[in-house]
Amino acid sequence: MTTHSRLRAMVAMLCAVAALSIGAAPAAAADPLDYVVHTEHVQVGPYPVTVGFTVWPLRAMQSLDFTFDPDGGIAGKSGTITAIAPDGSEDADRLSRHPRNRDVWGLDVESLSSSGTWTLQFAIDGPQGEGTGDLAVDVLEQPGPPLTLSWLVGLTPLALTLVFFAVVWIRTGPHSGADTSA
């Protein structure tokens, strides 16, 4: 078998593998809420709200999506959500449509910064008037190694690369004492 025919056979095999992997890929979810793995219910004044989580149990510093689906939908309603951390600090946001499911409110790729009991405080204004409600959520410790160790391990290749280039520059770089004129 010649080198040219081996190359052609290799390209054909790679194309077949790519076609099979694309054909075997899972189909997109028909329901945009298929990614929600856990729900909780909270009464916000006259509005029952289903709160969806894409990860359960919750862990500190772990990215997830939140969805907020009031009974009757979000049309004609507005509101805010205030996340109250275990240390008492607050972060308030206006409820807006979730980017991947426009039929509900939501937060996309959010994380809670510390472990402990968080309170999600809702305020909704709609056709039945204003209402408030709270949902307490327990957040576990951050998954994986401590954050400092993760950064140290992650930045080690960069540090080694910089050391490598510094050594190469010192050994092969221009020497200030060398006379290049002849």
The pLDDT of residue 8 is 78
The pLDDT of residue 119 is 97
Distance between CA atoms of 169 and 160, rounded to whole angstroms?
14
Q: Is residue 99 part of a domain?
A: yes
Residues of the chain with pLDDT under 50: 27-30
Give me the amino acid identity at 42: V
Domain containing 103 equals 32-139
The pLDDT of residue 18 is 66
The pLDDT of residue 10 is 72
Q: How many domains does the chain have?
A: 1
The pLDDT of residue 176 is 54
Q: Is there a contact between 141 and 59 (Cβ–Cβ < 8 Å)?
A: yes
Distance between CA atoms of 38 and 145, rounded to whole angstroms?
25
User: Residue 121 sits in a domain of what CATH number?
Assistant: 2.60.40.10
Q: Is residue 22 part of a domain?
A: no
The pLDDT of residue 1 is 67
